[in-house]
Amino acid sequence: MHTKLFVHLTIIAFLLSACAPRLIPLPTQSAPQPTPPVATQTVITTGLLLWDRFKPSCETAAFSPAGFSYGACGKVLTIAPEDIGREIRFAELTSRFASFTAETQAGSLIFRGSGNTVPTEAEKRAIAEWAKLSFEIAQAGRTGAAWSLAIAWHREGGVAGFCDDVAVYLTGLVTTSDCKGFHAEAYLSASQLERLYGWLNGLKSMDYNDSNAPIADGMNITLSLNGTGHKQADEQTTRDILDFAATLDAQLGYAAEAGPEVSDAQNALRDYLTALHTSNYVRGAELYGGETDLLQTWNPDIQNDLPGLFELACSQNGLQCLAPRSITYRASEVDGYHFWVEFNNNDGTLFQQGPCCGETTGPVISMFPFFVEQKSSGFVVMELPPYVP
């Protein structure tokens, strides 16, 4: 028997023995596991994923490095054709995230990952949505553009002749395209997923069309949101969702047109943040080109010693020299590049900067802007990491 098929069938045999409507216990935990939700159950481990749906009938799907199978619970599963995209995404998820258990709107999860990043609740749901969609596509033998669609945005007209589309899916996948043949895709960050699910959970479905609005240059924008909530979107919320989609369109467009310099700038930013996080203050100082007044104010006794200033700023003064969680390219200028950065706390959870200085209300920030400037000697970062007093 072919080795890959033998390994896969061995895994399936193991899964079938556990296909009763219950969660497989984590071997590293002795506490009882949570009861699965009424409708669905999804189990993900490193190199292994089991998804079960108990209503209207019990159906299951098994993912592993050996392949993907699906069918009715307790019966021989059908081995699906290989899908490079699905295999790559599965490997990305299991290599990035640490092990966890969770219940989401798309099913219950037991996840075995080899990464250090602790997923947010929104990221856990995105994983469950991906597993659910993968099963449904295999079961139907086809897919459709509207499957798992959360937001659809379209812009056309204007002097520039716009004809652009953005689709945002429950899985966190974003695609952009235009009528000239352009196409790009990416996955939302943790912070962007949080905003997406907040709208979907709280708002009713909506169809917006500004064709009657006094838009300059005759440009028309339409927006659809497949919400499951009970609240009607007000004018400001509608504008926020429109801006969200337009920003994604611009970001993916800029990224697709970017040259190798953008990758070099992003690498410099990652090296700078990583150097500060790992206490390599000499390297961090080499990659910093911004103002030093704040660092000097904190430690006026230190002169002409930027590595020394960074060391005290990171260890004593409140500078959050954390590991970068995600770096998202935003746009370019003549002399440099803009990025958004999310950070991990030391325990792998998402860093969030709350209201300052004793305030109990105010925005919570988890995406931070950075500008990387290109100089004759190379790329330097112009911003300091976040600060918490």
Confidence (pLDDT) at 213: 58
Direct distance between the N- and C-terminal alpha carbons of the chain, in angstroms, rounded to an integer: 63
Q: CA dist 56 to 40, 89, 318, 366, Å?
A: 10, 28, 54, 40
Q: How many CB atoms lie within 10 A of CB 322?
A: 20
pLDDT classification of 36: cutoffs 50, 70, 90: very low
Q: How far is CA 213 from the centre of its chain?
A: 34
What is the pLDDT of the chain when averaged over all its residues? 84
DSSP annotation of 302 = -
Confidence (pLDDT) at 239: 95
Q: CA dist 118 to 23, 97, 186, 249, 374, Å?
A: 20, 6, 20, 28, 33
Would you state the structure tokens that stand for residue 200, as one six-digit string? 């979907």
Q: Is residue 198 scored above 90 in pLDDT?
A: yes
CA contacts within 13 A on the Cβ side of 78: 11
Determine phi and psi for 16, rounding to 5 degrees. -65, -30
DSSP 264-291: HHHHHHHHHHHHHHTT-HHHHHHTB-S-
Confidence (pLDDT) at 148: 95
DSSP annotation of 218 = G
CA contacts within 13 A on the Cβ side of 71: 13
pTM: 0.83
Instruction: Give per-residue pLDDT as tens, 216-243.
Output: 566 889 999 999 999 999 999 999 999 9
pLDDT classification of 16: cutoffs 50, 70, 90: very low
Angle between helices 121-140 and 190-202 (to 10 degrees): 70
**Mean pLDDT of all residues in 82-105:** 90
Closest CA to 96 of 110, 111, 108, 107: 111
Closest CA to 371 of 314, 292, 295, 288: 288
Would you state the structure tokens that stand for residue 288, as one six-digit string? 């910093």
Q: Is residue 263 scored above 90 in pLDDT?
A: yes
pLDDT classification of 31: cutoffs 50, 70, 90: very low
Confidence (pLDDT) at 44: 47
pLDDT classification of 105: cutoffs 50, 70, 90: confident
Confidence (pLDDT) at 49: 67
Rg of the chain (C-alpha set)? 24
**Mean pLDDT of all residues in 121-147:** 89
Confidence (pLDDT) at 97: 93
**Mean pLDDT of all residues in 99-106:** 86
In sequence order, the 6+-apart residues with CB closer than 8 A to the CB of 266 are 327, 329, 337, 339, 372
Which residue type sits at 45?
T
Determine whether 138 is exposed, middle or buried from the number of CB atoms within 10 Å of its CB (0-12, 13-18, 19+). buried
Q: Give the E-state strand segments of the chain in sequence order.
A: 40-45, 48-53, 59-64, 67-72, 78-79, 98-104, 107-114, 149-157, 162-169, 173-178, 183-187, 204-209, 220-228, 323-333, 336-344, 368-375, 378-381
More reliable by pLDDT, 161 or 279: 279
Closest CA to 117 of 101, 133, 94: 94
